[in-house]
Structure 1
Amino acid sequence: MKNQQLIAPSVALSAILCILSACGGDSGKSGNVASSETIIISSSSSSSSSLMSSSTSSSSSTSSQVSDAGVTVGTLAKKAALNGDGLTLDKNGNVFVGTSKGHTIYRVTTKGEISLFATLANGSANGSDFDSKGNLFVANETSGIIHKITPDGTVTDFLTGMDGPAGMYIDEQDNLIVGMFGYATPAAKVLKITPDGTISTLASDGGLANVVGVAGDGKGRYFASNFYTGEIFEVTGGKVKQIGTSDTRVNHIKYFNGYIYTPNPLNQEIRRVDLFGNFQLIAGTKSVAGSQDGAALQATFNRPNSIDISADGKTIYILDFNTGDVRTVSVPQ
């Protein structure tokens, strides 16, 4: 891995202090009561006691890039979903993509074959994810609806009257974790919705604004991102803890193996950040839009905004908003 950095002793000490103080885990409080407390996670080596802070200043982080040796970008399907927003994989590796302006969801097979899977009555098809029974849940931001789509493509309204549901992650207990872009006041928040439709607030305030991206580690930890300003948070246990900021727009996100993967639609890049706020460029050419495949750091994207990762952890799937292309990136080891 290119430009790999050793962990400074003070950072290691900070991590130990973090563990001793239960940083990053469940707060121990019962229920899902939201809190406005913001804890900044810092990777700076200047202070061994700065890992947990109530300050709302930006976190310190590093930025590097992976070696593109062996990391390649390809195209699975072209024009699968123009103005696409929201991408997820089913258990068989098929890709499902939504359209933010056409309220349709398309299915892309592992061979790149495209077919219409479902059509919503109106609105937009934004973040989506599958539950353990194979039902696809889709956030409809503009209509304020969460849709449930059965494996045969039957669409029903699971919840209505919501304030801008945009991002979707379904956890190991089939709870829906929903990023709420929010138009009312207070606006942005992260909701937890049980399979029977019971809604609770997982996190709000604490720096959350225009939330779209939500993700989880499959073990009870949750993450969220601000769309316009690019801050990345952990939102476990009702506390909002800033991990870092990408300093550019972040749409949907994905957690995998200690990293949060972030497509950056304005920078035309795919990056990942560890839980100490250290960012790595994985693929793309900064501020250059295009559809060039090949070596990761010479490839180009066209407003990448949605992401998922294959079950075997070997392939990242990206949806380019402007072209509707489904792109693939090999996961850096």
Structure 2
Amino acid sequence: MTTLAGGREAGYLEGIASAAAFNQPNDLAFDASGNLLVADQKNHAIRSISPDGTVRTLAGGESGYGEGQGKAAKFDTPQGIAVDTAGNAYVADTWNQRIRKIRPDGLVSTLAGNGASGYQDGAGVAAKFNHPQGVAVDGAGNVYVADSWNQRIRKISPGGLVSTLAGTGESGFLDGREARFNGPVGLAVSKEGIVYVGDTWNHRVRKITPDGRVSTLAGNGSYGFKDGKAEAAWFKSADKLAIDARGDLYVSDPLNQRIRKVSIGSTP
């Protein structure tokens, strides 16, 4: 294991990866060119690490809300990022209560959310979120949002319509069509359109079919650490997720100081 970029001290520096500085980098996503995009939450910026190890700021760098080109845009504690096949990046701009879009040319706009915390489905900027913390995008261009304080998983269509995929809005644990979550944070989408959710304070990884049916993929709800069969595993904090080309799922479990792997092919 090696350090790709950044050092011991929090800060904000661009340039050679080993000399660059970040401030609580939270989520990661690769673009088609092999650049690693970073949601650098306390720098209120989206950073890019090129394949040759150069760190630059793709967008933002100052707390607030503003659209525009590159560094002229403003974010407030971005915590989630995902990239689509066309190279657009989607950002969970958590404290702005919005989902932002960064085009490949660096232009930042608002995809959904009107900036007021709350819950409302509907067209794009008329919708409301409550601390969105994770995003994922499928092959059809649908963007999924872990709307953490609303205890819901939201879906934004390519046309910009926001709907609720799963969750009643009540915190708790329940599978099925009336599912309940407790602090959903991380998301990943399979090639088949299955949405996986890091259901942090339920200590579980949940699974949502395209028609909105929720089940539990891994974790039995116990707080702690235990590997083994997915349904018997223990997590402390199932958080951000990533999925590989084979469909296996990786789970950050920060309170256990571990990265966990769920082998999807071996799970019922």
Asked whether the two chains share a fold, i.e. TM above 0.5, the reply is: yes
1:290 aligns with 2:199: no
**How far did residue 327 of structure 1 move?**
0.7
Match of residue 227 from structure 1:
148
2:160 aligned partner, one-letter code: G
Match of residue 280 from structure 1:
215
**How far did residue 153 of structure 1 move?**
2.8
1:328 pairs with one of 243, 261, 265: 261
CA contact (8 A) 2:235 2:256 kept: no
Q: More helix by proportion, 1 or 2?
A: 2
2:136 pairs with one of 207, 215, 227: 215
CA contact (8 A) 1:317 1:328 kept: yes
**How far did residue 233 of structure 1 move?**
1.0
1:244 aligns with 2:166: yes
Q: 2-side partners of 1:151 and 1:320: how far apart?
A: 27
**How far did residue 304 of structure 1 move?**
1.4
1:197 aligns with 2:115: no
CA contact (8 A) 1:127 1:252 kept: no
1:299 aligns with 2:186: no
1:278 aligned partner, one-letter code: R
3-state secondary structure, aligned to 1:196: coil
1:169 aligns with 2:78: no
* Structure with greater Cα Rg: 1
Match of residue 68 from structure 2:
none
Match of residue 142 from structure 1:
42
**How far did residue 273 of structure 1 move?**
1.2
Q: Percent identity?
A: 29
What are the ranges of 5 or more consecutive residues in structure 2 without an aligned counterpart? Answer: 7-19, 61-73, 115-126, 168-179
Q: 1-side partners of 2:147 and 2:209: how far apart?
A: 17
1:124 aligns with 2:33: no
Paired residues, what number? Answer: 214
**How far did residue 328 of structure 1 move?**
0.6
Q: Which string of whole-angstrom CA distances, capped at 9 and with x for unpartnered residues, describes residues 260-314 of structure 1?
A: 100111111011112332111011121x22221111111111211010111121x
Q: 2-side partners of 1:169 and 1:310: how far apart?
A: 14
Tell me the TM-score normalized by structure 2.
0.76
Tell me the TM-score normalized by structure 1.
0.61
CA contact (8 A) 1:229 1:250 kept: no
CA contact (8 A) 1:126 1:166 kept: yes
Q: Which string of whole-angstrom CA distances, capped at 9 and with x for unpartnered residues, describes residues 78-108 of structure 1?
A: xxxxxxxxxxxxxxxxxxxxxxxxxxxxxxx
2:187 pairs with one of 253, 267, 271: 253
Matches within 5 A, 1:84-123: 114-119=1-6, 121-123=21-23
Q: Which string of whole-angstrom CA distances, capped at 9 and with x for unpartnered residues, describes residues 235-277 of structure 1?
A: 1222110111133101120111222100111111011112332
1:310 aligns with 2:210: no
**How far did residue 229 of structure 1 move?**
3.0
Q: Which string of whole-angstrom CA distances, capped at 9 and with x for unpartnered residues, describes residues 185-240 of structure 1?
A: xx311111111111121111424121111111122211112122321111122211
Q: Once superposed, what is the RMSD of the aligned Cα atoms?
A: 1.5
CA contact (8 A) 2:236 2:256 kept: yes
Please list every run of at least 4 consecutive aligned residues from structure 1 whose deviation after the TM superposition is greater than 6 angstroms. none
What are the ranges of 5 or more consecutive residues in structure 1 without an aligned counterpart? Answer: 1-113
1:262 aligns with 2:204: no
Q: Which has the higher contact order (CA 8 A, sep 6+)?
A: 1
Q: 1-side partners of 2:217 and 2:181: how far apart?
A: 16
